[in-house]
Amino acid sequence: MKVTEEHNQRMAKMTFASVYPHYLTKVEKKGRTKAELLQVIEWLTGYNEADLQKLIEAGVSFETFFQQARLNANAHLIKGVICGYRIEEIDNALTQQVRFLDKLVDELAKGRKMEKILREEKK
């Protein structure tokens, strides 16, 4: 699927606070925990639980959320299809970052091992 400019704008304006409860519900329905979700979000963005709570309370958009984030150096290793979009082919950086987060949450909900989700190197 081709990402449109309207889609990119919609993603930028969406608030993290509006999506986070859906992430939490999705992973908990599949037997995963809030702590695991927080671990995944912190790995990608650098935000800890207190940071996330402040961002939720402030009602920040995904644009602000990712502008202030410290994106993990291995985020580029997140590949595949999410919501009909091939992540590595998305040319808008913000939309790609939102889809990175969606993909990680999806992998967590599907029961993937944490070391695989966090793209850890094998030792």
Tens-level pLDDT at each residue, the chain (123 residues): 677 889 889 989 999 999 999 999 999 999 999 999 999 999 999 999 999 999 999 999 999 999 999 999 999 999 999 988 899 999 999 999 999 999 999 999 999 999 999 997 655
Candidates 12, 40, 39, 16; CA nearest to 106 is: 40
**CATH fold of the domain at 8-111:** Helicase, Ruva Protein; domain 3 (1.10.8)
The ranges assigned to domains in the chain are 8-111
| Letter string b/e over residues 65-91, b meaning 16 or more CB atoms within 10 A of that residue's CB | bbeebeebeebeebeeebeebebeebe
Tell me the pTM: 0.92
Q: What is the pLDDT of residue 103?
A: 97
Per-residue confidence (pLDDT) for residue 121, from 0 to 100: 66
